[in-house]
Structure 1
C-alpha cells in the first residue's frame, strides 16, 4: 500500500515538471568578482570626449601598477596628476632632475634651459626642436595660459622690449620643469613672483 502511494506522488511530480520551468538564478552584478587590474581608474567625460593633448598617451584603462606609478610621480613632483600623462615624459624628466646648469650644453653633466627642452623632446617624442629658446618659440603654436597642458612649452622674457630668454616644459597645476641658472634642472611654479612677472607665453609643438 505504501509503495502504491509513493508511486502516485512520483507520477504527479513528474507531471507537474512539464508545466513549470525553474529558471536558474540570475547573477547579481553586485556579487560578481571584480578584477582591479582591469578597472578603469579614470571615468570618461559624460560627452565622450577624450584628452586631445598629443603628448598624453596613457591607455584608457589603468592597472594597479599604473596607479602606483602615477601616485609616485605625483608625490615626487608635488603635482596632482590626472593619471593620463605620458609615462615616458615623467620618467625622463625625473632622470634629469638635479642636472647642473651649464650654458651652451645639453647633457646630464650640465645643460641650459633650451638644451634641456630639446633633449627631452628628442628622447621622449623623437622631435627635433630649434636649439635656442627664441627660435624654439617659432616651432610652436601659441596657446592661452589657461589652456596649457602637460608637455607644452612655457616661455619667459624680462620685458616687452626684450627677447625670450628662458623656456621650460609644463607639468601640472602651474608647475613646470626647466634648467635654471641658479639650480639646474628643477620644478618651479608659474605662481612664483619671478616667473609670474617674466612669463611671456605658452606654446604647443605642432
Structure 2
C-alpha cells in the first residue's frame, strides 16, 4: 500500500498481519525485552518490514536499532522511516544519495477523538478542515492532518535532530491531487546552500487505513527552499 505514495528510488515493505519477536536480531529483541506483548509484536513486525526493505535495497542483513529519541538507526548510506497502527505495519527506505530523508505514517481512517483537533491544528488549519469536510465528507480530514504532520516530523527530525510540536508546521491539504504542503514555522537546516522552509508529501486511503509520506531529495537535487514534489518531472 505505502508504495503508492512513495517516489521513484525508494523501496518499501508492509503487512496487515504480525510477525513474532523471534524473527528479530538479538540486539533488537533486547530493546523490547521488558515491553508488553502487544508492543513487542508491534516493534517486531515493523522491524521485519525494515529488514525486507533493506534486502530490497541490496543491503546486508543486520539489526535496526534505536536512537536517543526513539528513531530507527539505519545503516550508513540509507535513510528510511517506520510506521505502525492497528491493522498495518510498514517501512520505507532509500539510498541516502538520492533521498535525504523519508517520513511515513499510517492511521486508521477514523475521526480523531473529540478535542484532539484543537491540539494538533492551528486556527487556519481548523478552518481548512471545516471547509474540506463540507466539500469532501468522505475523508476524515482531521486524522489526515494529524498523519501528515507525523510524516513531516519523521522526515524533519533526522535533518535537524530536533523533536517538533504540532504547531511547528502549518499544512495545506490538496484533496484533488492528494498532496499536502508543510510550511515550517521554525528555522530549518541549510541544504545545498539553501534554508529548508517547507516539505511536500502525498496521501492515500485504502482498506480503512490512511497513509501519508514525505520524501526530501538529496541536496544536489534541490532547487528551492521548499522541497519540490518528489513526483514532479
| TM tier relative to shorter chain | under 0.3
TM-score, structure 2 normalization: 0.24
TM-score, structure 1 normalization: 0.26
Q: Which has the higher strand share?
A: 2
Higher Cα Rg: structure 1 or 2?
1
